[in-house]
Amino acid sequence: MQIFGVDIGGSGIKGAPVDLERGDLAQERCKVLIPQPATPEGVADGVRQVVEHFGWSGPVGLTFPGVVTGGATVRTAANVDRSWVGTDARALFAERLGGLPVTVVNDADAAGVAEMQFGAGRGRRGTVIVLTFGTGIGSAVFADGVLVPNTELGHLELDGHEAEKRASSKVRDDEDLSWEQWAHRVQKYLAHVEMLFSPELFVIGGGVSRKAHKFLPRIEGISAEIVPAQLQNNAGIVGAAMRAADLT
């Protein structure tokens, strides 16, 4: 079965049909840049562009970089325009996509669900934390395979700042940090999260997971196992499609 997934991030909107038996993209994904400012109307136009690229006419699952409650309502918007707060995202996207069945989920939660079903967290029990490093830091926390939604651990305080303002992949680029310098910041962040949750496993996702060999070996002093995400930056698309499969 194929379902369409769209991953809305702080810098881009990417999507593709997903083969839910394999947990992988059925076609090469389409990506457009996030509009600036990233208002609801502008982002909805970008989503429509991605979906229309494939001529898709079935259910669509979408991720959003913030807290989403009830599969519809946006509660926070750290890396997109503040006008998103309080928006019924499901109704907005359904209207813009011509009435297609739509569901909306936190982006890191979607990536986490995909990793737990098809990737690095498959079959793992206990506490597993999936962290996505990109424009910000997303989190998905699982207890014996059950998701605790909308944790948003990227907003924990670290060195007097929000953690994602110190240790996201975007910060590494913006401050031109070496892999060693950035790994030190990630290590401090992981140590803080580990102190709070004592997970058995950290799964490190986002686009930077493709280069895990450049920074994961530099991270020391963490008791939990640390592994790169297997679905890498496609995890959000796959997880969004998994959620939309409930609409069929």
Q: How far is CA 206 from CA 7, 72, 77, 113, 235, in A?
A: 11, 23, 18, 14, 8
Across 122-151, average pLDDT: 97
Quickly state the pLDDT bin for 218 (edges 50, 70, 90): very high
- Supply 218's token pair: 């530099």
Q: Measure the CA angle with vertex 9, ends 72 and 20; round to 5°.
A: 70
Q: What is the pLDDT of residue 49?
A: 98
Quickly state the pLDDT bin for 248 (edges 50, 70, 90): confident
Read out DSSP for 125-151? -SEEEEEEESSSEEEEEEETTEEE---
Distance between CA atoms of residues 128 and 141, nearest Å: 6
Across 136-150, average pLDDT: 97
Across 76-82, average pLDDT: 94
Query: Is 18 in contact with 56 (CB distance < 8 Å)?
Result: no
- What would the pLDDT profile of 169-198 be if each residue is shown by its tens digit? 999 999 999 999 999 999 999 999 999 999
Q: Which residues pair with 12 in a beta bridge?
A: 33
Q: Which residues pair with 148 in a beta bridge?
A: 141
Q: What integer best gives the mean pLDDT of the chain?
A: 97
- Supply 228's token pair: 């790169």
Q: Which CATH superfamily is domain 122-230 in?
A: ATPase, nucleotide binding domain (3.30.420.40)
Quickly state the pLDDT bin for 20 (edges 50, 70, 90): very high
Report whether CATH 3.30.420.40 matches the domain 2-109+235-247: yes
Q: What is the dihedral of CA 233, 235, 236, 239, to 10 degrees?
A: 170
3-state secondary structure at position 177: coil
**Where do the CATH 3.30.420.40 domains begin and end in the chain?**
2-109+235-247, 122-230
Quickly state the pLDDT bin for 10 (edges 50, 70, 90): confident
Q: What is the pLDDT of residue 47?
A: 98
- What would the pLDDT profile of 31-45 be if each residue is shown by its tens digit? 999 999 999 999 999
Q: Which residues pair with 228 in a beta bridge?
A: 204
